[in-house]
Amino acid sequence: MKKLIIMCLACVAVLSSCEEDYNNIVVTDNRYAIDWNAAADSSSTGLISNFWNATSNYFNYTATGTEFHYWPQAHGLDVLLDAYERTKDESYKSYFDKWFTGVKTKNGNTFLNHFYDDMQWNALSMLRAYNATNDEKYKTATIVLWEDIKTGWNDKGGGGIAWNKGELNSKNACSNGPACILAARLYQQFNDAGDLEWAAKIYNWEKEVLFNPSNGAIYDNLNASTGVISNYISTYNQGTFIGSAVELYKITGEKTYLNDAVKAANYTINKLTANRILNTEGNADLALFKGIFVRYFTQLIQTPGLDAATKKRFVLFLKYNANELWYTGTNKQYVVFKSDWKSAPYFLSETELNAQLSGSMLIEAAALLKKSGDMD
């Protein structure tokens, strides 16, 4: 594994001046140009160096402890996959099997869990690992999780997958968006028509119940026992709805899905931001939300069929956020982040796994867009 690449290596120290219009906000930047590939190596290596538990083979919840949380493990594997797919560096790939054994063992020798959304995330990351390795154990584990996830669907509230196995009336965006993405990807890979049916019915339920068609907001949940819809809106739910729409657009070519994704993205970048930077939604689980949005927002940017003007606007937004995180929100000694992308942690105790994952996902997204030629 590469050594930590600190600021002087990760950024080309060449002053550059540019003006870019981020939805009518003109930013003049005279700071050094960033080598996004090197920055991504630094951030993903920082994730490993500061959070990987080399004894038990999972990601510690803090940089100073060994606490295990199940759902962030999926996103940790996703970042390793991002880095491997970008570089083809076998040192990143060497963690995949360790992760599989360590997470399964720590979770009670199973990947099954009480929370449907948590299982969906681990299934999505293991499906990616299967594609990267062709190792059947990742596919098998993904299918086992998918079969269990489908049991979360019930007719309370007109359908939808429940949030967890003990609250079947709680129909949440967080347990339906990722499930739709998973079903759609399983269909695209293995061509089981039943998976496409699942993807469509999950999407249709979420759109009908939790999506505001007038502005693109995704409401958090329906309490099916009372009929009350929560008006809480997060980058997490915006991101997974975008991801769902993108997957179904890829399958069907129906422009309605792409329009839904663009509307949800526009809401996010216009309403869930402060000075064009994604909001700091909080710590703990909330610190991972922005990274989830970034992942699926990036996939929307790279979707064929997105009009050029919208794509350019979205790329500039992501670049602006990545610039701000790298310039002002990164502790360059350890290459770690906080949930506030405008403020760097001074001590390792000021960061946590979820915040590190969100930051790493943003930097990897910038490197991906730079490599693909989508970002100047």
Dihedrals phi, psi of 29, to nearest 5 degrees: -120, 120
Domain ranges of the chain: 45-311+345-351
Instruction: Look at residue 165 and tell me whether its pLDDT is greater than 80.
Output: yes
User: Which pTM was predicted?
Assistant: 0.93
The amino acid occupying position 90 is: E
Q: Which of 220, 207, 362 is nearest to 298 (CA)?
A: 362
Residue pLDDT, tens place only, 199-244: 999 999 999 999 999 999 999 999 999 999 999 999 999 999 999 9
* Cα–Cα distance measured from residue 73 to residue 96, given in angstroms and rounded to the nearest whole number: 11
Percent of the chain scoring above 70 in pLDDT = 92
The whole-number pLDDT of residue 31 equals: 77
Bridge partners of 34, per DSSP, are 11
Mean pLDDT of the chain: 93
3-state secondary structure 50-107: HHEECCCCEECCCCCCCCCCHHHHHHHHHHHHHHHHHHCCHHHHHHHHHHHHHHHHHC
Domain boundaries 45-311+345-351, corresponding CATH code: 1.50.10.20
Residue pLDDT, tens place only, 9-42: 334 333 333 444 445 544 445 578 999 999 999 9
